[in-house]
A and B are shown apart, each in its own frame.
Chain A
Amino acid sequence: MSRSAPDRAVAKNPGPRLGQTEIVAVALLAVLLSQRWLLPLLDHDLFNTWGTIFVAIVVQSAPFLLGGVLLSAIISTFLSERALSRIVPRSPALGVPVAGLAGIGLPGCECAAVPVTNSLIRRGVAPAVALTFLLAAPAVNPAVLVSTAVAFPGQPVMVLARFLASLVTAVAVGWIMLARGRLLLERLAGAGRDQHAHERSFLGNVSHDFLHASGFLVLGAMLAAAVNTFVPRSVVDTVAGQAVLGILTLALLAFVVALCSESDAFVAASFTAFSDTAKLVFLVVGPAMDIKLASMEAGHFGTGFALRFVPLVILTAIASAVGVGWWLL
């Protein structure tokens, strides 16, 4: 968008900001009206496939994101710090496992968890505890476990392994941040905290949080759709035979394709050539960290924090899944 147009409007008009809205509105209208002429130009298999997957991820995530934003606005607006402190154990070391288990109660996809976590931190919950909840919620809730059981018929141990490995990942990251995460959490305090949340009305918080999260969600969806469209799955299969390489490849794939945690078990089950442990790594890394989540976390908590948090979570998730897989599978 050209910068000069709104600037000129500023000089002329005491209500300058109206200029931007009008430009956006006119641009949108122009796009909608020119649909008939633009459509044939864009009618290309590759672009269409990317577009379908991109829109699908956004459409699938939107209700979950809104649900998460509503819940986080309730926490920010109505839940006093005192009430919250009665629920969350005072000692963060104890709060971490409690937060991990509390994840069972939020049956949603990972996009819902990011705004909720942010509002918990705003409300004075220790960041390590809130982030444990962020990691656990998308992976250990009943909806995800049921879909895993359906995707792996006759292999109930996979459900147990997924539950344990995800919980261990969340709690371990929480404790690591308590013990050694000073640097990490300082960055979070600088970038992620929003001091004004309690001054806003409920709807003010909803619109603020939704706008904050939606752009990053869309960015993550664009990247994930590109990987889905342009990287053939058969490339992945070439390393299926190798134990270590297979595990690393599925971990990387879980990060870049950013599936919702309710459906990733079906995709994991289709990697028949890989070992069960590699499939478990796919199921544990995906809900804890993927490109869409990384993008949203960079938006909510700051890029400096995300750059350290993302690799920490991925490595912990791989280690935890390999350990549990070696024990159970």
Chain B
Amino acid sequence: MTRTTQALVIGFLGAVLLRLSLGDGYLRYVSEWMKWPLVATGVVLLGLTAWMLLRPVPEDGSKDGSAEDGPGHKVPAMTWLAILPGVIVFVASPPSLGAYLAERRAGDPVAAAPDAEILPLPASDGPVDVEVAEFMWRAGVEDGSTIEDRDVRLTGFVSTDESGSWYVTRIAIACCAADATASRVRVEGHADVPPRDSWVAVTGRWVVGSAPGAESETAIEATSVQPREAPANTYQ
């Protein structure tokens, strides 16, 4: 790989990181606090590119274009792979993890209830917004007494299974999309399945007795299902 190509590879990666981190794109892959580290990395890589392109080419070394680097300037052939992430970001623009992964991870263990005392849901006239994962662990503790007979609203995307049931689903990440975990609640009383991966707000009540690990997995008896815009950050 020549010196100029090396600069191009570094610059391309820097530009991709900047483009992702200055918009909302990075939220598809990593958690929110990564924004400024990514901006800084992109800026440093672009600066490095400028330096690599502008530094004087030593005359005696013009044969390989980099006498300053000495014989150690050669980079492994593997470095070509460094172009690939940027190409994939621009060409395929992989979306946030969605129904496909959630359906494959359906059998995974779910988030445990926090160790602290389980507080009741806040009092409210209308339905209370509850996270999907929280709804699941609340169903599992104290026989679901904290959500029984309460109107709740769950927001998430739609995933399905082979039996034709559909679920309101969320994916949580701790660090990056590689450690994603899915949680889902089956929606009953609404046979009209919304499009897979579309976002919905499901209002309804907990189906008594349904819980993670119980005979029937956690479910909600829906009174209304409203379409929603996908949030900028789809992960929890």
A residues with a Cβ closer than 8 A to B are: 1, 17-18, 20-21, 24-25, 28, 31-32, 34-35, 38-39, 42-43, 45-60, 62-63, 66, 70, 147, 151, 153-154, 194-197, 199-201, 203-204, 206-208, 210-212, 214-216, 218-219, 221-222, 224-225, 228-229, 232-234, 237, 257-260, 262-264, 266-267, 269-273, 299
Looking at chain B, what size class is its interface with the partner chain? 35 or more
- Taking a contact as CB atoms closer than 8 A, the residue among B2, B10, B69, B108 that contacts A20 in the complex is B2
Q: 25 A-B contacts, Cβ less than 8 Å apart?
A: A17-B65, A28-B83, A31-B90, A34-B91, A39-B91, A48-B95, A52-B95, A53-B178, A55-B89, A59-B20, A59-B38, A62-B17, A196-B69, A201-B68, A206-B48, A211-B79, A215-B81, A218-B78, A219-B78, A222-B81, A233-B105, A259-B175, A262-B175, A263-B174, A266-B174
Residues of A within 8 A of B75 (CB): 208, 211-212, 215
B residues with a Cβ closer than 8 A to A are: 1-10, 12-13, 17, 20, 26, 28-30, 34, 37-38, 40-41, 44-45, 48, 51-52, 64-65, 68-73, 75-85, 87-97, 100-101, 104-105, 107-109, 112, 114-115, 174-181
Interface of B, helix, strand, loop or mixed by DSSP = helix
Known A-B contacts A28-B12, A39-B93; A218 and B82 likewise in contact (beta carbons under 8 Å): yes
Q: A54-B94, A63-B41 are in contact. List 6 more A-B contacts (CB 8 A).
A: A46-B100, A48-B100, A53-B177, A59-B17, A60-B176, A62-B38
Measured CB to CB, the closest approach of chain A to B49, in angstroms, equals 9
Residues of A within 8 A of B37 (CB): 63
Residue of A nearest to B172 (CB): A266
A59 and B79 within 8 A (CB): no
- Taking a contact as CB atoms closer than 8 A, the residue among B6, B26, B89, B176 that contacts A207 in the complex is B6
**What separation, in Å, do the CA atoms of A53 and B29 have in the docked complex?**
7
A196 and B92 within 8 A (CB): no
**What separation, in Å, do the CA atoms of A20 and B7 have in the docked complex?**
12
- Taking a contact as CB atoms closer than 8 A, the residue among B64, B97, B107, B178 that contacts A237 in the complex is B107
Residue of B nearest to A60 (CB): B176
Residue of A nearest to B107 (CB): A234
B2 and A57 within 8 A (CB): no
Measured CB to CB, the closest approach of chain B to A256, in angstroms, equals 11
Interface of A, helix, strand, loop or mixed by DSSP = helix
A59 and B34 within 8 A (CB): yes
**What separation, in Å, do the CA atoms of A206 and B17 have in the docked complex?**
18
- Taking a contact as CB atoms closer than 8 A, the residue among A32, A53, A237, A267 that contacts B90 in the complex is A32
